[in-house]
């Protein structure tokens, strides 16, 4: 399995890239800094790091070309690159801002990364997958409560848009051999997106490694026909048992 993980230098992306590499997949992970991407990849067996700014079409095309060439194709795209509320309000958990207090440039930056970025990378990779006979796309999302929470503009709307995008992608690609699924942690995780004034101690934050088992399974032969599912990592074991009982 040849996998491209966007935003793979830290947090959920690095945890998923690590789990996939450990399972034997060939992994290309991306970051805005090519040097940081290469450094992160150096710590994983057989992985490569590639510079990609998901907001920029030319950067996405160059990175996709490089990943396709160096991996010999891409079987799975994990759309993960994103920025959080911390970029527009460093104390968003303890001092939330009303939407009218959010700077337009901050709003645009989050939407362009978390939503437009998913679109641009999937738009670049999907035709290649179709031409090669199939593939898998996994779009990373968050809890629905995050999309409705006071003080969560623009992060909430960016993730809600990502879910809608994923559902439409799945509808557009049904029956083509390219599958689309959503994967989310199931709660707040210990990543660089935590606000500056909140520490993990005393909170029930999840470890990013919670994403490992479901992403490895989604890359497996057992998941070849799984399409248009929304999988919550903290509930993955039960979801899988329920699925197996229906078969």
Please give the structure tokens belonging to residue 73. 């194709």
Average pLDDT across the chain, whole number:
93
In whole angstroms, give the CA distance from residue 247 to residue 198.
Answer: 44
How far is CA 206 from its chain centroid?
Answer: 16
Please give the structure tokens belonging to residue 86. 């911390």
pTM for this predicted structure:
0.92
Asked whether residue 11 carries a pLDDT value surpassing 70, the answer given is yes
- Residue-range domain boundaries for the chain: 2-246
DSSP 23-51: TT-EEEEEESSHHHHHHHHHTSTT-EEEE
Task: Note the pLDDT of residue 193.
Answer: 53
Q: What is the pLDDT of residues 110-144, one digit of tens each?
A: 999 999 999 999 999 999 999 999 999 999 999 99
- Residue 96 has what DSSP assignment? -
Please give the structure tokens belonging to residue 22. 């450990």
Cβ(117)–Cβ(30) below 8 Å: no
Which is the catalytic residue, given 68, 118, 155, 236?
155
In whole angstroms, give the CA distance from residue 156 to residue 17.
Answer: 25
In whole angstroms, give the CA distance from residue 146 to residue 92.
Answer: 12
* 3-state secondary structure at position 64: helix
List strand residue ranges (DSSP E) for the chain, in order.
Answer: 2-5, 26-31, 48-51, 76-79, 135-140, 178-184, 230-232
* 3-state secondary structure at position 164: helix
Asked whether residue 202 carries a pLDDT value surpassing 50, the answer given is no
Active site annotation includes 118 = no
CATH number of 2-246: 3.40.50.720
Q: What is the pLDDT of residues 160-192, one digit of tens each?
A: 999 999 999 999 999 999 999 999 999 887 665
In whole angstroms, give the CA distance from residue 113 to residue 150.
Answer: 21
């Amino acid at each position: 399995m040849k996998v491209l993980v966007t935003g793979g230098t830290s947090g959920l992306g690095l945890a998923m890239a690590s789990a996939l590499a450990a399972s034997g997949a060939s992994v290309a992970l991306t970051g805005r800094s090519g040097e940081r991407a290469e450094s992160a990849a150096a710590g994983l067996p057989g992985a490569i790091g590639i510079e990609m700014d998901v907001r920029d079409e030319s950067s996405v095309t160059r990175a996709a070309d490089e990943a396709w060439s160096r991996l010999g194709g891409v079987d799975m795209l994990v759309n993960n690159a994103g920025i959080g509320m911390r970029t527009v309000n460093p104390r968003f958990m303890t001092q939330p801002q009303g939407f009218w207090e959010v700077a337009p440039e901050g709003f645009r930056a989050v939407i362009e990364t978390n939503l437009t970025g998913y679109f641009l990378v999937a738009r670049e990779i999907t035709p290649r997958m179709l031409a090669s006979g199939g593939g898998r796309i996994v779009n990373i999302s968050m809890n629905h409560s995050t999309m409705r929470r006071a003080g969560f503009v623009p992060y909430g709307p960016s993730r809600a848009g990502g879910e809608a995008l994923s559902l439409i992608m799945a509808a557009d690609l049904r029956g083509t051999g390219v599958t689309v699924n959503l994967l989310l942690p199931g709660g707040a995780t210990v990543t660089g997106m935590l606000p500056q004034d909140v520490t993990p101690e005393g909170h029930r934050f999840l470890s990013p490694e919670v994403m490992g088992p479901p992403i490895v399974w989604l890359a497996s032969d057992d998941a070849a026909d799984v399409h248009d599912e929304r999988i919550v990592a903290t509930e993955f074991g039960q979801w899988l048992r329920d699925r197996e009982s229906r078969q």
